[in-house]
Amino acid sequence: MIAQQLVNALTLGSVYALFALGFTLVFGVLEVMNLAHGAVFMAGAYAALVLVTKANLGIWVALPLAMLVSGALGLLIDQVVLKPLRARRAHHLMPMIATIGVGILMTNAAQGIFGTDTSRFPFGTIPEESFQVGTIRITDLQVAIVIISFVLMVLLLVILKRTRLGKAARAVAENPQTSYLLGINVEGVFRLISFTAAALGGGAGVLIGLSFNAVSPFMGQPLMPKGIAVIILGGMGDMRGAMVGGLFLGVAEVMGVAYFSSDYRDAVAFGLLFLILLVRPSGLFGRAMERKA
Amino acid sequence: MTEYLQLFWATYSTVIYTVGVHSMLALSIYLTLSCGLLSLGNAAFMGIGAYTAALATLRLGLPFGEALALGGLLPGLAALVIGIPTLRLSGVYLAMATLGFGEVVRVVFLNLEITGGSMGLSGIPMKTQLWHIVAILAVLVYGFVRLRHSKIGRAFEAIKEDETAAKVMGINITSYKLLAFVLGAILAGVAGGLNAHFTFFVSPREYGFDPAVDILTAAIFGGTGSFVGPMVGSAILAILPELLRFLKAFRLAVNGLILILVVIYLPNGIWDRKLFARFRRKGSV
């Protein structure tokens, strides 16, 4: 029983981690709390749905394409909304408020285009097969979700740690002005990060859409507070923290429902978040922020 | 004419009440923002106030005034208790901690028997009158006008501009922050109590993440340079969906679009004195 629950928790947690990774990437590098990330997540799921139903593509072809679409959307948001605010050196709350507007716009546009009903993937899109390991039943979809999430996350971590590009991104995260003086194309890094983060968010949307077989304009909304909880748990802007935090939240939710009560599922996660903030505001992996006098 | 007015009132009284209550909420977040605190717990405090006042009316049969007072008192106490540990946090961290608090409160409402679970409480009698809202807003406006140049108002401003410098000047920042936080919570609680007594019901859904963000949005949209901005902002955002009914399914999208445009092109919100001054100069030439 507990092993079965762990499999479910791992599936849910890896998607949370993927979602939170995009969220934390933007926070770490652009220093923007991107509250449109949930809407991008939703847009990714719809992009996959449209590609599957209208273009008759297989889901594993539609997934990368949907990620490209959401990535492009992220880039668009950055260029149209966030760039002017950066140029003006606006107060750090301003980009956050602007992304709230973007989120409302996108959610409502999806409502207008697709209606408020929950859409489902056509029969046969989602692999239905499963196999048995001991007493645990694992579906092929679960395996695919976990593998895809982890491949994407590890890929991102390797790029950030090992390549010149990753070095540039980390330098910009540390200090954009200094990076600029050192000849790094700061705006280019911002564009790339916006694209990547949104692509990850959209990918997470497709995977959640598949695992519950439900796509709706509002599917991103419950993810937003969860994403915030995860990046607090892991430390703001910390990649490993977002991964561990996402997995942890998945486990906490699934185990909470299985062994405690489904009623207080969200309270457990957020109560924990509240406590972590009081005891260790920098999160599990974060460094204490220096106070500037 | 009177017939027309009656019809107008019958159709739009809820909108007018809503404008009033949203103005109070925007003021409650302005109060904490004016002390440099970004708190997203105001929706939760509003919820505590709404449930308390509604239960006071339904279960205890208290008169409206006392029910409202309780609706302000309990959120105030809650703010005092959670404020002492959380106000050490700053910036985004405080926002997230208060958001976490808000989610916990919402889930508690959802599961307690006395709060009616996910159905909430219904059948709350209509007790809010327009003059209640107008009177409270008038008191608030007077209070905010007086606050600006008072010792407390100046302390708030000093803390907002530079916490370290304020501390060095001998301002007890913790107690002033706590004061702003508790006053904001009381205000939000009273607004919640008023709201419950004209919408006839309260449910946990009204006090989660989205309402918290909506309150902040209205305040920033209006401009946080003075207390007028948040009131104007929340009034516009409350009325706008009514004016845009012809857009049907897409009308909320316009809200989003306006929000984006204001943030990009009107950095100080729509209620911006400098902007007005510029227009006036242009007009006179």
Domain boundaries, chain B: 15-208
- Give the minimum alpha-carbon distance from A140 to chain B in angstroms, rounded to a whole number: 34
Q: Checking phi first, is residue A80 left (phi over 0); if not, alpha (psi -120 to 50) or beta?
A: alpha
Query: Which pLDDT does position B3 carry in this prediction?
Result: 82
What distance in Å separates the CA atoms of residue A281 and residue B82, rounded to the nearest whole number?
A: 15
The answer to whether residue A101 neighbours chain B at the CB level (below 8 Å) is yes
The answer to whether residue B212 neighbours chain A at the CB level (below 8 Å) is no
What distance in Å separates the CA atoms of residue B40 and residue B190, rounded to the nearest whole number?
A: 17
Q: Do B86 and A281 touch (CB under 8 A)?
A: no
Cβ-proximal residues to A95 (8 Å cutoff; 6+ apart), any chain: A30, A32, A33, A34, A81, A82, A85, A86, B263
What distance in Å separates the CA atoms of residue A43 and residue A75, rounded to the nearest whole number?
A: 14
Which H or E run includes B213? helix B209-222
What distance in Å separates the CA atoms of residue A219 and residue A120, rounded to the nearest whole number?
A: 13
The answer to whether residue A225 neighbours chain B at the CB level (below 8 Å) is yes
Cβ-proximal residues to A281 (8 Å cutoff; 6+ apart), any chain: B89, B93
The answer to whether residue B218 neighbours chain A at the CB level (below 8 Å) is no
The answer to whether residue B104 neighbours chain A at the CB level (below 8 Å) is yes
Query: Which pLDDT does position B103 carry in this prediction?
Result: 81
Q: Do B260 and A101 touch (CB under 8 A)?
A: yes
Interface pTM, i.e. ipTM = 0.82
Query: Which pLDDT does position B68 carry in this prediction?
Result: 93
Assess whether pLDDT exceeds 60 at residue B185. Answer: yes
Q: If you measure CA to CA, which chain A residue comes closest to B162?
A: A293
Assess whether pLDDT exceeds 60 at residue B210. Answer: yes
Q: If you measure CA to CA, which chain A residue comes closest to B259?
A: A101
Which H or E run includes A132? strand A130-133
Q: What is the pLDDT along chain A (293 residues), one digit of tens a residue?
A: 788 888 888 999 999 999 999 998 998 888 888 989 999 999 999 999 999 999 888 889 999 999 999 999 999 999 999 999 998 888 777 888 899 889 989 999 999 899 888 999 888 778 778 888 888 888 889 999 999 999 999 999 999 889 998 999 989 988 888 999 999 999 999 999 999 999 999 999 999 999 889 999 999 888 888 888 887 777 777 788 888 888 888 888 888 777 776 677 667 667 777 777 777 766 666 554 444 33
Query: Which pLDDT does position B162 carry in this prediction?
Result: 86
Query: Which pLDDT does position B176 carry in this prediction?
Result: 93
**Contact call for residues B105 and B192 (beta carbons, < 8 A):** no
What distance in Å separates the CA atoms of residue B11 and residue A162, rounded to the nearest whole number?
A: 64
What distance in Å separates the CA atoms of residue B164 and residue A30, rounded to the nearest whole number?
A: 26
Domain boundaries in chain A?
Answer: 11-224
Using a CB-CB cut-off of 8 Å, the residues of chain A touching B103 are 225, 266-267, 270
Query: Which pLDDT does position B285 carry in this prediction?
Result: 42
Q: Do A101 and B257 touch (CB under 8 A)?
A: yes
Which of the pair, A144 or B90, is modelled with greater confidence? A144
Query: Which pLDDT does position B71 carry in this prediction?
Result: 94
Among the listed residues B244, B245, B218, the one whose alpha carbon sits nearest the alpha carbon of residue B229: B218
Tens-digit pLDDT profile for residues B98-136:
887 888 888 888 888 888 888 888 888 888 888 999 999
Note the Cα A156 to chain centre separation in Å: 13
- Give the minimum alpha-carbon distance from B189 to chain A in angstroms, rounded to a whole number: 21
- pTM, whole model, 2 decimals? 0.83
Judged by CB atoms within 8 Å, which residues 28-67 of A form the interface with B? 33, 35
The answer to whether residue B77 neighbours chain A at the CB level (below 8 Å) is no
Token couple for A181: 């003086």
Query: Which pLDDT does position A47 carry in this prediction?
Result: 96
